[in-house]
Structure 1
Amino acid sequence: MVLLNKIYTRTGDAGETGLVTGDRLSKTHPRIEAIGAVDELNAALGVALSAVKDEDLRGVLLAIQNDLFDLGADLATPKTLRGELRLAEARVARLEEAIDGLTEALPPLESFVLPSGPGGAGALHLARAIARRAERMVWAVGALPGDEGHLSAPVPRYLNRLSDYLFVAARKASRDAGGEVLWVPGGGSDDE
């Protein structure tokens, strides 16, 4: 259980923040940037949830929001600390099952889909783009000197699958609300 009885602590006023170990890092450190991108992704999912009506999608999105808190805790905890919260590999498999279920119910793509659409689709596409950025940032953390082996294997895989899930979820939400917005090659040009 988490107990927060005071929101501000003043401990970050000097431009540093703490990890689970108590170690302090600059707020511009790649690990903190990755944790921040995951936080931004979670907030974008909250925006999407305000527009998505399908109860099945909403349930999965709420579960994903919880997963992202676990993923953030995982990023903030060195692998040397045993017994700390880790993102379970089973969560990656759960996303794959959800992707397969949605994909089976959708018609094949005949064009690229614009990151837009009704029914919360635009917000889901924004969350997908943020998930891609968070994944890139997580890989950058894994490549830091001295951080080899710190990155839990499911973390980047989860973010990779999550962006795929958000793509098919956006397709479903858009189709349920009137239709997908497809790319029309040259359609945005005034060229004759």
Structure 2
Amino acid sequence: MVVLNKIYTRTGDKGDTALGNGNRVAKYDPRVNAYGTVDELNATVGMARLHAEGDVDAMLSAIQNDLFDLGADLCRPDMDKDAEAEYPPLRMADSQVERLETEIDALNANLDPLRSFILPGGSELAAYLHLCRTVARRAERLAVELATAEPTNPAAVKYLNRLSDWFFVAARVANNNGKDDVLWVPGANR
């Protein structure tokens, strides 16, 4: 159970922070950059939800919860010691990736194939979902960078990769099922 009765601790005043296993690292550590960007993404999803409703809002709600799971996973190094831990660390599961894939397929079912790249925008919801997509891609790049330096849960990286695709397709749905997508016109302003 999480209990937060005091918000400031002063323990990070010298530029370091505690990971999920208690180890202290610099606040610019690759692991902190990865889960910090996941937190930023979650806040961006919250902004998108201000414009969402129905099934899309429900899916975004589930994604926000997943992003907390993902942050918990990324903040806990030493995957090889998971079995020894007093409390098993929360790790992303392939089932979360599979749920995104199922949702992408359902959202994409009524969209015409793209014949051009699209510009981020259109409706307010679509614009926010495109912002979510770009932050998700940054979080993915940081998670991949982390995974090259130390063991990282492969499902965490897969989830971020699939999530940016989810945001792209959901943005098209938010643009009147793609009918209001803003198409890129190569060289239009030469």
TM-score where L is the length of structure 1: 0.91
5 Å-filtered alignment, 1:1-192, equals 1-53=1-53, 55-78=54-77, 79=79, 80-82=81-83, 83-144=88-149, 147=150, 150-175=151-176, 179-187=180-188, 189=189, 191=190
What residue identity is the alignment partner of 1:22?
G
Any idea what the Cα deviations from partners look like across 1:27-81, whole Å, max 9, x if unmatched? 011110111111111111011111123x111111110000010001001112123
RMSD after superposition: 1.4
For 1:156 and 1:170, locate their aligned partners in 2 and report how far apart those are by CA, in whole Å. 22
Letter in 2 for 1:115: P
**8 A contact 1:118–1:178 mirrored in 2:** no
Deviations 1:1-31 (A, max 9, x none): 3211111111111100101111001001111
Once residues 124 and 109 of structure 2 are traced to their aligned partners in structure 1, the CA distance between those partners, rounded to angstroms, is 20
Q: What letter corresponds to residue 20 of structure 2 in structure 1?
A: V
Unpaired runs of 5+ residues, structure 1, are none
2:68 partner letter? F
Report the TM-score, using the length of structure 2 for normalisation. 0.92
Partner SS, residue 105 of structure 1 = coil
CA distance in 1, matches of 2:5, 2:104: 39
Separation in 2, partners of 1:42, 1:36: 10
- For residues 115 and 29 of structure 1, what CA distance do their matches in structure 2 show? 31
SS, match of residue 36 in structure 2: helix
Identity of aligned residues (%): 51
Q: Is the 8 A contact 2:111 2:177 kept in 1?
A: no
**Contact 2:112/2:178 (8 A) holds in 1:** no
What letter matches 1:71 in structure 2?
L
Residues 172 and 178 of structure 2 are in contact (CA less than 8 Å); yes or no, is this contact kept in structure 1?
A: no
